[in-house]
């Protein structure tokens, strides 16, 4: 633990609300950055952006079990709390909410949120319970904190659209802000799961961003979406990935889209290399 760390950690909803309440009583605004920990430069960018949105910044650090399927990596998901607190502190975050599963999901917990719209397809074709878990924990965090604004990374683009729709549909008094993806120099989107990549897998990983970039440029230049997306799929598979999906979707609704004339286009990909599943996305210019 850093001896100069000034960030305060709280572990209960009561303590979280007490601190936020003091800020509210002083007429000050609050931003929330929800995370599952294992913080990296992408999370730091979220916290730094949050400082420009509100007087005070809260980061939540909670590995949410309800968004993992039984076959997924909950038990080995990286947990680096002390390093996370150091990063959050250095980014100017004042409060860390670090609950355990018992605090978030008390005895007899049985409530979930039913989703449609942008939650249908893509990730849910492969992880059918994922967004129900995400939506439930995010709704709880927003209700627990009652921030003026909450910030999410655009790397998890479908999640961002699901959360935006959630806040709108449930009349939650919070503004949802998407922050651009932070990348390595070779284009790989930063992710806590990148630590799982072996040397050869890491060398192949930037193929996802390269294939999306080439496809986005081709579509913007007038090439047919279907043919361009098919070529990108073949490029990703040839690099050694097992492809879950690579799709062109309407950027706002995530409905299938056949032409840029139908609205803004977003390209989204999820693929596995070795034991690691990576996701990425990119806007088509225009």
pTM: 0.95
The residues assigned a catalytic role are 43
Asked if residue 36 belongs to a known ligand binding site, the reply is yes
Whether residue 40 is predicted with pLDDT greater than 60 in this model: the reply is: yes
- For residue 134, which of 36, 59, 45 has the smallest C-alpha distance? 36
Ligand-binding annotation for 39, yes or no, is yes
- Asked whether residue 155 is marked as a ligand-binding residue, the answer is yes
- Per residue in 93-136, pLDDT (tens digit) is 999 999 999 999 999 999 999 999 999 999 999 999 999 999 99
| 263 secondary structure, DSSP code | S
| CATH code linked to domain 8-179 | 3.40.50.620
Count CA atoms closer than 13 A to 3's CA, side-chain side.
0
Architecture of domain 192-283: 2-Layer Sandwich (3.30)
Question: Domain coordinates of the chain in residue numbers?
Answer: 8-179, 192-283
> pLDDT, tens digit, for every residue of 9-31?
999 999 999 999 999 999 999 99
Query: In this predicted model, what pLDDT tens digit does every residue of 177-195 receive, in sequence order?
Result: 999 999 999 999 999 999 9
231: annotated binding-site residue? no
The answer to whether residues 256 and 268 touch, using CB atoms and an 8 Å cutoff, is no
Question: CB-based contacts of 193: which residues, under 8 Å, 6+ apart?
Answer: 73, 276, 277, 278
- One fold for both 8-179 and 192-283? no
Q: Is 40 annotated as a binding residue?
A: yes
């Amino acid at each position: 633990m850093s001896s100069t760390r000034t960030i305060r950690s709280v572990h209960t909803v009561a303590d979280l609300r007490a601190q936020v309440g003091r800020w509210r009583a002083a007429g000050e605004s609050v931003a929330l950055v929800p995370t599952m920990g294992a913080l990296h430069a992408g999370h730091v960018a979220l916290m730094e952006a949050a400082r420009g949105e509100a007087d005070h910044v809260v980061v939540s650090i909670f590995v949410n079990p309800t968004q993992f399927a039984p076959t997924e990596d909950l038990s080995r998901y990286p947990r680096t709390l002390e390093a996370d607190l150091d990063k959050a502190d250095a980014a100017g975050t004042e409060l860390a909410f670090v609950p355990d599963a018992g605090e978030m999901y008390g005895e007899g917990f049985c409530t979930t949120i039913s989703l449609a719209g942008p939650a249908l397809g893509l990730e849910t074709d492969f992880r059918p319970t994922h967004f129900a878990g995400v939506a439930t924990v995010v709704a709880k965090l927003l209700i627990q904190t009652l921030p003026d604004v909450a910030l999410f990374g655009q790397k998890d683009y479908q999640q961002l659209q699901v959360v935006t729709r959630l806040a709108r549909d449930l009349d939650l008094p919070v503004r949802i802000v998407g922050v651009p993806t932070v990348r390595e120099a070779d284009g790989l989107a930063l992710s806590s799961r990148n630590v799982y990549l072996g040397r050869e897998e890491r060398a192949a990983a930037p193929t996802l961003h390269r294939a999306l970039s080439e496809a986005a440029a081709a579509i913007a230049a007038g090439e047919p979406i279907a043919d361009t997306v098919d070529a990108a799929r073949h490029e990703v598979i040839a690099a050694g990935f097992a492809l879950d999906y690579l799709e062109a979707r309407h950027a706002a609704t995530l409905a299938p889209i056949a032409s840029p004339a139908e609205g803004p286009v977003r390209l989204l990909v999820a693929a596995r290399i070795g034991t690691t599943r990576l996701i990425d996305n990119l806007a088509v210019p225009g």
